[in-house]
Structure 1
């Protein structure tokens, strides 16, 4: 919800950070939701041209798939 509010305020970096935090929180309880949150963050980072951070979060998603076999 915080990420959605940041998007409404046009604060993309803060929104992406909130999505990443949510993704990290969901990793153990709901891996699929963690992936969804990280993908939202990746979309925002792509729009911002932050490709290094985007790649890092793709690695996090791969690790979730590897560990949880979602």
Structure 2
């Protein structure tokens, strides 16, 4: 797992409704970089999206990930 992916998981563990734009601002990378990493995390079934893009939230399914 990349450093950016770990940072995404940390942010989403604190705020499951965080947008890709806000994550990009907090991590300091481009929104497209966040979206590409989210896609990889979804493919690996680490992240699951519930609900709509505006009112939905993220669920982290990977228990062994250290989020601190």
Higher strand share: 2
TM-score scaled to structure 2, two decimals? 0.38
Higher helix share: 1
Structure with the greater relative contact order (CA < 8 A, sep ≥ 6): 1 or 2?
2
TM-score scaled to structure 1, two decimals? 0.37
